[in-house]
Amino acid sequence: MKGYYAKRIFSALITLLIITTLTFVMMHSIPGGPFTRERPVPAEILRTLNEKYNLDAPIYEQYFDYLKGLVTFDLGPSYSKIGTTVNDLIISGFPASAKIGLYATILIVLFGIPLGIVSALKQNKPIDYLVMFMATLGVTVPSFVMATLIIYFFAGKLGILPSFGITSPLGYIGPVLALSGYSLSFVARLTRSSMLEVLRQDYIRTARANGLSEFKVIYKHAIKNALIPVVTYIGPMVATILTGSFVIEKIFAVPGMGRYFVESVGNRDYTTITGITVFYAAFYIIMVLFVDIAYGFIDPRIKLGKEK
Amino acid sequence: MADERFVFIKDNTEDMETARPSLTYWQDAWRRLKKNKLAMIGAFTIIFVLLFGLFGPSLTKYSYSDQLNKFKNLPPRLEIFNVDENLNFHLSNDYNIFLVTDNGEVYDRLEPDKNQRDMINKIYIYKYGTEDNYEEVILDFSYNLLPSKQGYDYNFTIEYDGVVYTQPNDKVFNRTFPFGTDDLGRDILTRVMYGTRISLMIAFIATLVNLLIGVVYGSISGFEGGKVDEFMMRIVDIINSVPLILYVILLMVTFKDNDGLTNIVIALSTVYWVSMARLVRGQMLALKEQEFVLAASVIGVPRYKIIFRHLIPNAMGPIIVSMTMMIPSAVFTEAFLSFIGLGVSAPQASLGTLANNSLTGLLTYPYQLFFPALTIAIIILAFNFLGDGLRDALDPRLRKG
């Protein structure tokens, strides 16, 4: 068991190294440096800038410097926001993104799973059709459209929600709803189909034949097994939610990490792009690792280390 | 032996058990698919959307980049003031007066008389008619300003031919621009059609490339097995260990210099093949143990032929299903990229860029977002329906039912 964790953590680190290298190479293969402007920067200033950011050093030296920085959790300075480091950006942006992401995840778990279960239990009844109709809508409407619709109706027409910022608790409603829409619908659909499959299993019939109350059959026997695929989805979903928040943060003007990322893409702020990518990658890898470990607890049939 | 002892038996079809004509896998799948109403709705919607995108732009009077400066920000549903027979005024949200016929054709915009405008009280005079023989149209916005004019339940008036109108008395559909126009006076219907074409083109090309790479990669990995498989799947694992959208964004940033369309296609197709590769590998692992593969290799069929002639055709069902699901996700991703400003470059437009462009004027001109967004939703829904139907039709596990 311990060996398995060690192996997983090791391979996660290797993956991270490869991703860092990839992003680094990509960023440095772009024609034109970070200080290329429409109006050329005077050679003198360019030289000083390059010297300051160590850009005239050979590429492998820059690479090792960058790796050295990474080990000490130093992602380097931002090229376009003078005087701030990428660390500053992440520290100032991540809490807002994480908060929205967390609320969205809670919303998804609290509503998506029960809706799916109810829908499966009332299969082909009006409630089922209603839930599935909403869920189908949810997966077809892109999150940015959902966000703009929320702004249009709730902030514009009705005026009950603020259209930007998260300074008041009400401000969270819009971004969280828009962010969770897709995954909420997906989780509801997934729970429903998985629940339907479990309800057809023999052991459920046995449980019913043994005279267990319907409540016990569903809550003690069916749900536990029906949730396994849902848990698999929810782990990586957290990361999807974070990347999904790029757009949501832009629309709702939330001062989060996603907005910095989108801005840095526009500004060609390479260190920020690389830094935030590596941060996201690390976050994602940790989440997946976490789910894998949690898996063993939920489903003892899965023996870690012996998969595939 | 004498030949007469051999008698041909009569061709007696009546005694034979009348069996159903045997169906091939694909005929059977097609039969199932035809029965699935949602899937057929999806299929027909896809055909319709394809026609809409392919031929639509050439059927309208305007091109996607035509800027009709006179007709900016016209909505698809016009609120009009009926002032005379076949003469209606439409007061747009940016306070221009348009001339509309009774059945909703917008044909001109009135120009304010520059010598007579009263900027302080916001009273404007427009001329209707020729230079010498015209009627004055007085647009009066002073109700919010002048103390003498307060207390009315309307805040502007239009006066024409001595009659004062306080609110629109009719609504007509815009016949000239059925979806309205955008802030540069471009016909939104044409742009949505064109955007559909671009979005679908990106999605189809990217999906085809993904299919090609994924199938080849996955089948080699699955068929070879052993060390090769392990190494190839390790690469897939590494690529897959990060949200794929991050790679796409990085790639888009890296080759920003090319044409935006090529960029998106390259970025999407270099990344999204991994899921296809995994699927095909799984299929290969299951199929390669079967007898027909053994038989083929015994009679000396080369390995690549076994893969392409025997294995891949047998794995086609799941591949097609996954392909149908890949197209909407490519449309989604493309819209997402365009939305954060990494999409196709102007004057080209995809559905995502159209949605993005409409954001600035959202509260005043919501229809500019509505149509591209609706089209995206319809495309995704249609492909999802068809994909679900195909899965039910092609999945061997369900074939008993």
A247 interface with B at CB cutoff 8 Å: yes
A136 interface with B at CB cutoff 8 Å: yes
Judged against a pLDDT cut of 50, whether residue A87 lies above it is answered with: yes
Enter the tokens of residue B150. 């307060």
What average pLDDT is seen over chain B?
78
Contact (Cβ atoms closer than 8 angstroms) between residue B234 and residue B221: no
**Chain segment A119-131, per-residue pLDDT in tens:** 888 878 888 888 8
**Chain segment B325-373, per-residue pLDDT in tens:** 888 888 888 888 887 777 777 777 888 888 888 777 777 777 878 888 8
Query: For residue B281, what pLDDT is reported?
Result: 85
What is the pTM (predicted TM-score) of this model?
A: 0.79
Interface list for B 7-36 with A (CB within 8 A): none
Residue to test with chain A: of B46, B199, B232, B241, most A Cβ within 10 A: B241
A144 interface with B at CB cutoff 8 Å: yes
Closest residue by Cα to residue A155 from A175, A139, A137: A175
Is B238's CB within 8 Å of A251's CB? no
A69 interface with B at CB cutoff 8 Å: no
Judged against a pLDDT cut of 80, whether residue B79 lies above it is answered with: no
Residue to test with chain B: of A182, A240, A265, A283, most B Cβ within 10 A: A265
Beta strands B163-165; B170-173: pairing state: unpaired
**Residue numbers in A near B362 (CB within 8 A):** 148, 151-152, 156
Query: For residue A303, what pLDDT is reported?
Result: 55
Judged against a pLDDT cut of 80, whether residue B7 lies above it is answered with: no
Query: For residue B400, what pLDDT is reported?
Result: 37
B294 interface with A at CB cutoff 8 Å: no
Is B341's CB within 8 Å of A265's CB? yes
Residue to test with chain A: of B244, B246, B332, most A Cβ within 10 A: B246
Please, which residues have CB within 8 angstroms of residue B6's CB and are 6 or more apart in sequence?
none
Interface list for B 244-263 with A (CB within 8 A): 245-246, 249-257
Buried b (16+ CB within 10 A) or exposed e, A59-70: eeebbeebeebb
B384 interface with A at CB cutoff 8 Å: yes
- The complex scores an ipTM of 0.74
Judged against a pLDDT cut of 50, whether residue A308 lies above it is answered with: no
CA distance B279 to B315: 9
* Mean pLDDT to the nearest integer, A212-216: 82
* Mean pLDDT to the nearest integer, B66-78: 75
Closest residue by Cα to residue A252 from A157, A183, A150, A160: A150
B228 interface with A at CB cutoff 8 Å: no
A266 interface with B at CB cutoff 8 Å: yes
Of the pLDDT bands very low, low, confident and very high (cuts 50, 70, 90), residue A306 is: very low
DSSP notation for B219-254: HHHHHH-HHHHHHHHHHHHHHHTS-HHHHHHHHHHH
Query: Dihedral of CA B61/B63/B68/B72: which sign?
Result: positive
Q: Which amino acid is at B269?
A: S
Least confident of A93-97, A188-192, B42-46, B148-152: B148-152
Judged against a pLDDT cut of 60, whether residue B238 lies above it is answered with: yes
**3-state DSSP assignment of residue B191:** helix
**Chain segment A110-121, per-residue pLDDT in tens:** 998 889 888 888
Closest residue of A to B253, CA-based?
A: A265
CA distance B100 to B119: 26
**Chain segment B270-289, per-residue pLDDT in tens:** 888 888 888 888 888 888 88
Q: Give the best-scoring range by mean pLDDT among A69-83, A85-99, B139-153.
A: A85-99
Of the pLDDT bands very low, low, confident and very high (cuts 50, 70, 90), residue B399 is: very low
DSSP notation for A191-235: HHHHHHHHHTSHHHHHHHHTT--HHHIIIIIIHHHHTHHHHHHHH
A19 interface with B at CB cutoff 8 Å: yes
Is B246's CB within 8 Å of A280's CB? yes
Is A140's CB within 8 Å of B380's CB? yes
Contact (Cβ atoms closer than 8 angstroms) between residue B362 and residue A152: yes
Query: Dihedral of CA A270/A271/A273/A274: which sign?
Result: positive
* Mean pLDDT to the nearest integer, B78-89: 74
B235 interface with A at CB cutoff 8 Å: no
**Chain segment B52-61, per-residue pLDDT in tens:** 888 877 777 7
**3-state DSSP assignment of residue A48:** helix
Q: Which H or E run contains B84?
A: strand B77-84
What average pLDDT is seen over chain A?
79
**Residue numbers in A near B39 (CB within 8 A):** none
Please, which residues have CB within 8 angstroms of residue B341's CB and are 6 or more apart in sequence?
A262, A265, A266, B356
Contact (Cβ atoms closer than 8 angstroms) between residue B301 and residue B259: no
Closest residue of A to B356, CA-based?
A: A144
* Mean pLDDT to the nearest integer, A262-284: 78
Q: What percent of chain B has pLDDT over 90?
A: 0
